[in-house]
Amino acid sequence: MISLPDVPYGSTAVRPDWSDLPEGLRQAISSRLGAPIVSARTAGGGFTRAFAAIVTTSAGLTGFVKAAPRQDPTADWYAREASITARLPPRVAAPRPLWTMVDSGYFALCLELVDGHVPALPWSPPELDAALSAWSTAAAALATPHHELLDVGVPALPDILRTEMSWWSEIAAGREPMPRTAHGTVAPTRLAHLARLEQAVPDLVAGGALMHGDLRVDNVLIDSSGRAHLCDWTWPCLGAPWFDTVTLLVTAFASGLDADAYLSGWGAPAEGVDGALAALAGYWLVRADGGPSSASPHSRQHQRFSGEQALAWLAHRRGW
């Protein structure tokens, strides 16, 4: 069975255009690129309201520029992305930073341009294979991360799960209500099982490998050769790489593909996979119940869709 989100992932962002940036910043970016900007194609994917666009100069030079006011948390995210991607090993297929600047009260980052597209859902097997191949190569390169990467400050996945992704346990203890977005799913009748699974998973994902931390379909770009590139390295963490694989494969399950078959070979324990799906579903469905988002009018739709599909995959695995 194929399930699709309400909005294509390449059209989720609401961003300012190039003309909306301060004139001083536009002049500074043009100067840094060596020629006036003649076109700026705003990125349609993502869930922030900050500027992100493919820019082209009159000399034909291109780059992917992101910019945000310095008082906006997104500016710190962009600065972190620049620090992390500059330190990634060469085997990791990810855009590298060309330069950063602060001007007119903004932080700006220019990344290498990947002329590609966000995979459409349902996933096509070739594009999913490309994404998983890129992640497999990256995971091998990051199995023992260099100290320069760790110096950026990387949290441990088990700590994130315990502090930010244990919502079924909070609901079971009566400290949080059952999210409205969970009604119509297996959650109300399987709450005790979900709480037990998410409580067990932190011990099953401990590890020293560097993970992407936010590996989802809209953080993948497929170029004209069919090669996948992994973008938006803002939230890496230390743990078991198969957790990222599970996160990515939620949309493969929604696409009617055999997600469990794609997961084979990653060394993921069955209880760990179930715990990951439980924790992800709880996190996404609680967030989706939070009312309108200032980040994107489509972020709650993404969260609800993702949470429902994670629960559906879990129910399929456990025969619920």
pLDDT of residue 135: 98
How do residues 57-79 score in pLDDT, each as one tens digit? 999 999 999 999 999 999 999 99
pLDDT at position 111: 97
Model pLDDT for residues 196-224, shown as the tens digit of each residue = 999 999 999 999 999 999 999 999 999 99
> Is CATH 2.40.40.20 the right assignment for the domain spanning 9-111?
no
Neighbouring C-alpha atoms within 13 Å toward the C-beta of 167: 23
| Predicted pLDDT at 14 | 78
Q: 115: pLDDT confidence band, cut at 50, 70 and 90?
A: confident
For 16, list phi and psi in degrees, rounded to 5.
Answer: -70, 150
The per-residue pLDDT for 51 is 94
- The predicted pLDDT at position 292 comes to 63
Interior angle at CA 29, CA 27 and CA 31, nearest 5: 65
Rounded CA-CA distance 112/88 in Å is 14
**Span 116-318: which CATH code?**
3.90.1200
CB 209 within 8 A of CB 239: yes
**CA dihedral sign of residues 289, 290, 292, 295:** negative
pLDDT of residue 263: 98
Q: For the chain, what percent of residues have pLDDT higher than 90?
A: 88
Report pLDDT digits (tens) over 145-155.
999 999 999 99
**What is the Cα gyration radius of the chain?**
20
Give the residue-averaged pLDDT of 149-175.
Answer: 97
> CA 91, CA 238: separation in Å to the nearest integer?
18
Model confidence at 160, pLDDT cuts 50, 70, 90, reads: very high
What predicted TM-score, i.e. pTM, was given to this entire model? Answer: 0.94
Domain boundaries, the chain: 9-111, 116-318
Cβ neighbourhood burial of 295 (10 Å; 0-12, 13-18, 19+): middle
* Per-residue pLDDT at 294 exceeds 70: no
| DSSP alpha helix (H) spans, the chain | 23-33, 73-85, 125-141, 147-150, 157-164, 167-172, 191-204, 242-254, 259-263, 270-288, 299-318
Tens-place pLDDT, residues 43-57: 877 778 899 999 999
Rounded Cα–Cα distance for residues 30 and 15 (Å): 20
Confidence of residue 296 (pLDDT cuts 50, 70, 90): low
pLDDT at 293: 56
Mean pLDDT, the chain, rounded, equals 94
